[in-house]
Amino acid sequence: MSFDIALTYRAGEGTRECEIASEAKLVAITGPSGIGKTTLLNCIAGLHEPLSGHVRIGGETLFDSAIGIDLPPERRRAGYVFQDLRLFPHRTVSANLAYGEQAEAGLMTRSEALDFLGIGHLARRFPATLSGGEAKRVAIGRALLAAPKFLLLDEPLTSLDPPRAEEILRLIERIRDELGLPTLLVSHAAAEVERLAGEVIVLD
């Protein structure tokens, strides 16, 4: 699946431009803090309206200002793992996963996701009782269960100690290699980018 993205968008007080043309399984987007990396992901997901341009993923047009196409977020089929995770504190791990689960056939069932993520023993726990790495796994699982066509990861290793970061790195590698899910990864960590990405886009 290919990424064909060319957008002009507002980020903070400035205007940014970005072009991505790649068939890599995982494309990393990097650059200094405040440059607009997360805003770019939000534009691709349909959560922030670009000024102009287009978003085509796997040959499907999700946004094109020239011809008036602007699919709502739920129709873009993005599995989005936010930097702040956005888990529901009043729901168990299983219920958080269920929130993202689609009735149609997706990448995996909820029980398969619990096994794939190695969090089956946490199914009845609540987010406040989870470690940072465990919570990241739940957020990734919820995205995978949304029957996504592509994955957006915003700084997935933030606030993790080295052992937990290594666990999440291995999980992302499995998603890339075993599931083959096209992924856009925002990161400022050079080692993370070098290890995971087939191509790197630098916002300057």
Q: Provide block-wise average pLDDT over 10 residues at a time, the chain (204 residues).
A: 93 92 96 93 97 96 98 94 92 90 74 91 95 94 92 93 92 93 92 93 92
Cα–Cα distance for residue pair 95/1, rounded to 1 Å: 31
What pLDDT is attached to residue 144?
Answer: 92
Of 89, 95, 3, 93, which is closest to residue 41 (Cα–Cα)? Answer: 3
What pLDDT is attached to residue 107?
Answer: 79
What pLDDT is attached to residue 105?
Answer: 61
Phi and psi at residue 30, to the nearest 5°: -130, 175
Q: Position of tokens 């465990």?
A: 134
Q: What residue ranges define each of the domains in the chain, with the CATH number in brackets? A: 1-77+184-204 (3.40.50.300)
What pLDDT is attached to residue 76?
Answer: 95
